[in-house]
Amino acid sequence: MNVLVLSTLILVGLLSIFFELFSIASFLPLMQQAFGGDSIFANESLSKISDVLIQYFHNFNYLFIFIIYKMVVKNLVLIRQNYYTITVCKKI
């Protein structure tokens, strides 16, 4: 198997992991806004991430639209990754 194909497959896999983690972290400020704006997280770093996103998106609707947009982009990347993985597996 070509080294370039395998390295591309690994790179796309790492990119999909990054998108998954970022999509999970984006729900934190949405939950915080839904529960009244108080910090509901015991972890300080999660609370800081949530506070930064809340400060950037002042309105709950903008935050919700941002999360939906990000989820669509993440799913498109994952679909492309799965297609590429299936193509490589067929060649093997």
Give 43-79 pLDDT, tens digit per residue: 666 667 666 776 776 666 777 787 788 888 888 888 9
Cα 19 from Cα 13, distance rounded (Å):
10
**Every domain of the chain and the residues it spans:** 3-91
| CA gap 24, 2 in Å, rounded | 34
Q: Is the pTM of this model over 0.85?
A: no
pLDDT of 32? 67
Asked if residue 15 has pLDDT above 80, the reply is: yes
Q: Is the pLDDT of residue 2 over 70?
A: yes
The pLDDT > 70 percentage for the chain reads 67
Average pLDDT score over residue span 13-28: 79
CB-side neighbour CA atoms (13 Å) of 77:
18
